[in-house]
Amino acid sequence: MESTTDEAGDSSQLYQTNVSHELSPNKEMKDVWQLFKEAFALYRLKFKSAIGIMIIPVLLIMAVGLIGLNPFSSLALSQSPWVSAIKIVLYILSLYFTTISVSALFLSVKEDVGAREAYRRAIKISPSFILVAILSFSVVAGGFMLFVIPGIFFLVWFSLAEIVNVFEGQRGFKALYRSKQLVSGNFWSVLWRLIFMMMILVIVTIPFSLIGDIFANGSYEFIPVGIARLFSAPLWAFLLILLYRDLAQMKQAQAPSESRIFFKLLCYLAGIIGVLLLFGSMILRGAIFFDNDIPNPDDSDLQLSAIDIPADQNSYYAFQEAKSEIYWPQDADISKETDDALENEILQKNEQALASFEKGISLFVFQEPEYQNPENVTSDQAVESLEHLRNLAKINSLKATSLLKQGRDKEAFDQALKTIKMGQMLEDEQGDLVHYLIGIAIKQTGAENLKSLIANSHLSSSELLSYEKELDKYRDSRSAQQKAIKFEYIRNINTAEKEINENLLDTTGARSLYFYQPNKTKLLYMENYRVNVDNASKENYTQLVAPQEIQPIEWTDIFTDNCIGKMMFNTSAIYFTGMTAKAFGETYRIEEVQTLLALKAYEQDNGHMPDSLQDLVPEYLYELPVDPYDGKIIRYSPEKKIIYSVGMDLVDDGGNISGNNPKDLGSEIGW
Let me know whether 319 and 373 are in one domain. Answer: yes
**504 in the same domain as 439:** no
Q: Are residues 327 and 366 in the same domain?
A: yes
Q: Is the pLDDT of residue 484 over 90?
A: yes
Q: What is the mean pLDDT of residues 179-205?
A: 86
Q: Are residues 315 and 449 in the same domain?
A: yes
Q: Which residues of 447-459 are buried (b: 16+ CB within 10 A; e: fewer)?
A: bbbbbbbbeebeb
Bigger pLDDT: 141 vs 491: 491
- 3-state percent breakdown (helix, strand, coil) of the chain, nearest 5: 65, 0, 30
Local confidence band at 106 (pLDDT 50, 70, 90 cut-offs):
very high
Cβ-count burial 498-522 (b if 16+ within 10 Å, e if not): eebeeeebebbbbbbbbbbbbebbb
The larger pLDDT score, comparing residue 72 to residue 655, is at 655
- Contact indicator for 93, 116 with CB cutoff of 8 Å: no
Does 339 share its domain with 412? yes
Q: Is the pLDDT of residue 194 over 80?
A: yes
Q: Which of 4, 96, 100, 99 is nearest to 49 (CA)?
A: 4
Question: Is 259 domain-assigned?
Answer: no
Q: Which among 544, 578, 612 is the end of a domain?
A: 578
- Give the pLDDT of residue 89: 83
Mean pLDDT of the residues in the chain = 84
Asked if 412 and 551 sit in the same domain, the reply is no
Torsion from C-alpha of 198, 189, 172, 134, nearest 10 degrees:
-20
Q: Based on the fold, state whether residues 361 and 422 are members of the same structural domain.
A: yes
Query: Hey, what amino acid is at 207?
Result: P
Statement: residue 232 has pLDDT above 80: yes
Q: Which of 578, 605, 640 is the last residue of a domain?
A: 578
Residue where one domain finishes, among candidates 554, 578, 602 = 578
Report whether pLDDT(359) > 70: yes
Does the residue 527 lie in any domain? yes
Residue 66 lies in a domain: no
Distances (CA, A) of 297 to 52, 75, 293, 329: 45, 12, 11, 52
| 245, part of any domain | no
> Once rounded to an integer, what is the mean pLDDT over residues 307-335?
87
Bigger pLDDT: 420 vs 82: 420
Q: What are the distances in angstroms from CA 113 to CA 52, 103, 104, 125, 644? A: 12, 13, 10, 16, 94
pLDDT for residue 196:
86
Find out whether 168 and 146 touch, Cβ atoms under 8 Å: no
Q: pLDDT at position 19, please?
A: 39
**259 band by pLDDT with thresholds 50, 70 and 90:** low
Q: What are phi and psi of 666, to 5 degrees?
A: -170, -165
Whether 543 is in a domain gets the answer yes
Mean pLDDT of 50-77: 71
Residue 400 placed within a domain: yes
pLDDT at residue 388, as a whole number: 93
* pLDDT interval class at 18 (50, 70, 90): very low
Give, to the nearest 10 degrees, the angle between helix 409-428 and helix 388-405. Answer: 160
HSE (CB half, 13 Å, CA atoms) of 65?
20
Q: How far apart are CA 391 and CA 332, in angstroms?
A: 10
What is the count of structural domains for the chain?
2
Model confidence at 366, pLDDT cuts 50, 70, 90, reads very high
pLDDT digit string, tens, across residues 555-573: 667 667 788 888 888 887 7
In this prediction, residue 512 has a pLDDT band, given cuts at 50, 70 and 90, of very low
**Most confidently modeled range among 167-171, 396-400, 509-513:** 396-400
Out of 278-287, 426-435, 656-665, give the one with best mean pLDDT. Answer: 426-435
Is position 56 within any domain? Answer: no
The predicted pLDDT at position 225 comes to 75
Rounded Cα distance, 33 and 192, in Å: 12
Lowest mean pLDDT among 118-132, 276-290, 617-631, 646-660: 276-290
Q: Which domain holds residue 315?
A: 306-458
The pLDDT > 90 percentage for the chain reads: 48
Residues 498, 533, single domain; the answer is yes
SS3 310: coil
Sheet holding 665-668, edge to edge: 635-637, 642-645, 665-668
Q: Please, which residues have CB within 8 angstroms of residue 614's CB and are 6 or more apart in sequence? A: 624
Q: How confident is the model at residue 94 (pLDDT cuts 50, 70, 90)?
A: confident
Please write down the HEC assignment for all residues of 382-442. CCCCCCHHHHHHHHHHHHHHHHHHCCCHHHHHHHHHHHHHHHHHHHHCCCCHHHHHHHHHH
- Contacts for 482 with CB less than 8 Å, ≥ 6 apart: 533, 536, 537
DSSP string, 32-90: HHHHHHHHHHHHHHTHHHHHHHHHHHHHHHHHHHHHTSTTTTSHHHHT-HHHHHHHHHH
| Band (605; pLDDT cuts 50, 70, 90) | very high
d(CA 262, CA 36): 36
> What pLDDT score was predicted for residue 251?
75
Average pLDDT over residues 72-80: 46
pLDDT digits 0-9 by tens, 580-602? 888 999 999 999 999 999 999 99
Residues 316 and 419 in one domain: yes
pLDDT-based confidence at residue 467 (cuts at 50, 70, 90):
very high
- Do 447 and 310 fall within a single domain? yes
- pLDDT at residue 72 in the model: 42
Whether 418 and 354 have beta carbons less than 8 Å apart is answered as: no
The amino acid at 205? T
Alpha-carbon 21 to chain mean position: 59
Which three-class secondary structure state does DSSP give residue 116?
Answer: helix
Q: What is residue 256's predicted lDDT score, i.e. its pLDDT?
A: 60
Across 664-670, average pLDDT: 92
Is residue 367, in this structure, part of any structural domain at all? Answer: yes
- 59-73, 332-346, 440-454: lowest mean pLDDT where? 59-73
Work out the average pLDDT over 300-308: 95
Residue 437 backbone dihedrals phi, psi, to 5 degrees: -70, -35
Are 417 and 549 within one domain? no
Nearest to 625 by CA among 590, 663, 669: 590
Question: Strands 635-637 and 665-668: what pairing?
Answer: unpaired
- Which pLDDT band, with edges at 50, 70 and 90, does 538 fall under? very high
- Under the banding of pLDDT at 50, 70 and 90, the label for residue 335 is low
Check whether 517 has a pLDDT greater than 90. Answer: no
Does pLDDT of 363 surpass 80? yes
pLDDT at residue 77, as a whole number: 45
Q: Are residues 393 and 443 in the same domain?
A: yes
